[in-house]
Amino acid sequence: MAEPEHDPQLGERAPAPTAAESFAADLRKLRLDAGQPSFRTMARTAGSISHTTL
């Protein structure tokens, strides 16, 4: 597991990201790598999932 990042304002290390925060960051990276498609475009590609669910 990676070391938590240093937060200079606190003068100490920030807490490690939670599993949900890491998952959200991974999803953002995937979307960026895919060219930032709109949520409607991703919903069409996914099939029966609405853009509001995404």
Tens digit of pLDDT for each residue in 39-49?
999 999 988 88
Tens digit of pLDDT for each residue in 3-48?
556 666 667 788 899 999 999 999 999 999 999 999 999 999 988 8
What is the DSSP annotation of 9-54?
TTTEEPPPPPHHHHHHHHHHHHHHHTT---HHHHHHHHSS--TTT-
β-bridge mates for residue 7, sequence order: 12
Euclidean distance between CA atoms 30 and 27, whole angstroms: 5
**What does the angle CA 23 – CA 28 – CA 34 come to, to the nearest 5 degrees?**
125
pLDDT value for 10: 64
Is the model's pTM score more than 0.75?
A: no
Residue spans of the domains in the chain: they are 17-53
Longest dimension (CA), the chain: 48
pLDDT value for 7: 61
